[in-house]
Amino acid sequence: MSSVKNVIQDSYKLMLLKDYLKVAIKEAGFSGVDIQKTPTGTRVGLHVTRPGIVIGRKGSGIRDLTKVLESDFGLKNPQISVIEITRPELEPSVMCNRMSQHLARGTAFRRAVMWTLQTIMEAGAMGVQITISGKLRGERSSFEKHSKGILPRAGYQAGIVVAEDIVHVETKMGLIGVRIRIARKEMHVPEFELKARVVTKDKIIKSEEEKEIEVLEEPITDPAKPRTESEEIERETTLIEQTEVFDDVEAELK
């Protein structure tokens, strides 16, 4: 019975730690944390989109965070390592946090959903599904489910290919829940391998070497890239207003 209590207690501490990190390093784009106990201490791996914010100037951020983990959460000799997320658009936790901030700012939920769907698919996802529920339009609760691409729903493949996260947002209308499920191409199993379909005999099929060269090409970095998550949200807010939704099409047809 003691072992069961230890498991429950460790899971509870991990939940409290995640809740704390979501607020403490929100500007760094926190995605998840890995904890591994070793004979010399505790290894803590932080998955973020902007490692520089967590590290701080001359490592001050790491030192302050180490003290908090040791005193408030009881981790013995925590050794923190910061892991950068190269493609944040394919991380459900990051996209949930961004979408929740848009909803909290008053952005229309359908615009936020359509923008998030488009961003995830353009990043190279195999499929995505977004479910939003709560008081979306009136006093009565409702839910909407939007999806794009190929998304395994159940079975062994779904457990490997699909990653998901859930977040709750407090708005003026009430509490809104957002669930994002993303299917990643690099995690697919042979049964879900996407094969090219040849339409005509004259169609030029690229060789495997040319495809590898295209994948290995590094994208052009933007010098005006946002430094924090708040700046990223501000940039996306202006672009979301230009996103076409079903309501706009319906208004034009009337």
The percentage of the chain sitting over the pLDDT mark of 70, rounded to a whole number, equals 78
The average confidence (pLDDT) of the chain is 79
Six token digits for residue 29? 């784009």
- CATH code, domain with 71: 3.30.300.20
- 27 with 49, same domain: the answer is yes
Indicate whether 171 and 236 sit together in one domain. yes
Angle CA 145–151–155, to nearest 5: 110
Summarize pLDDT for 121-176 with one digit per residue, the tens. 998 899 999 999 998 887 888 889 999 988 888 877 788 889 899 999 888 888 89
Asked whether 158 and 103 are in contact (CB, 8 A), the reply is no
Residues 59 and 129 in one domain: no
Residues 237 and 117 in one domain: yes
Q: For the segment 34-57, what is each residue's pLDDT rounded down to a tens digit?
A: 888 888 888 989 999 888 888 888
In a domain, 252, yes or no: no
Closest CA to 183 of 211, 149, 206: 149
- pLDDT surpasses 70 at 188: no
Question: What is the C-alpha separation between 13 and 6, in angstroms, rounded?
Answer: 10
195, part of any domain: yes
Virtual CA dihedral for 18, 24, 30, 35, nearest 10 degrees? -40
Distance between CA atoms of 182 and 97, rounded to whole angstroms? 15
Which has the higher per-residue pLDDT, 26 or 244? 26
Confidence bin at 72 (pLDDT 50/70/90) = confident
Out of 84, 112, 138, a domain closes at 84
What local confidence, expressed as pLDDT, does residue 235 receive?
80
Beta bridge partners of 165: 180
Residues 19 and 141 in one domain: no
pTM score, whole prediction: 0.74
Burial (Cβ within 10 Å: 0-12, 13-18, ≥19) of residue 52 = middle
Look-up: residue for tokens 């501000």?
234
Beta pairing, strands 41-48 & 78-84: parallel
Structure tokens at 243: 């996103």
At 102-121, the pLDDT tens digits run 998 888 888 999 999 999 99
Q: What integer pLDDT is reported at residue 189 of this predicted model?
A: 59
Is residue 254 in a domain?
A: no
Same domain, 187 and 240: yes
| Domain count within the chain | 2
User: Which of 35, 32, 26 has the alpha carbon at shortest distance from 53?
Assistant: 26
Q: Confidence class of residue 220 from pLDDT cuts 50, 70 and 90?
A: very low
Measure the CA–CA gap between 110 and 252, rounded to whole angstroms. 17
Q: Whole-angstrom Cα distance, residue 179 to residue 145?
A: 9
- 159 and 104 part of one domain: yes
Does the structure show a pLDDT above 90 at 13? no
Q: Are 17 and 33 in contact (CB under 8 A)?
A: yes
Same domain, 17 and 131: no
Q: Which residue has the higher pLDDT, 32 or 2?
A: 32
Q: Could you tell me if residue 201 is inside a domain?
A: yes
Task: Looking at the structure, tell me whether residues 23 and 133 fall in a common domain.
Answer: no
pLDDT at 253: 53
The residue-averaged pLDDT of 218-235 equals: 65
* Domain range for 137: 88-210+229-247
185 in the same domain as 101 = yes
If one compares 152 and 196, the residue with the highest pLDDT of the two is: 152
Mean pLDDT of 64-82: 88
| Pair (203, 112) in one structural domain | yes
* In the predicted structure, residue 222 carries a pLDDT above the cut 90: no
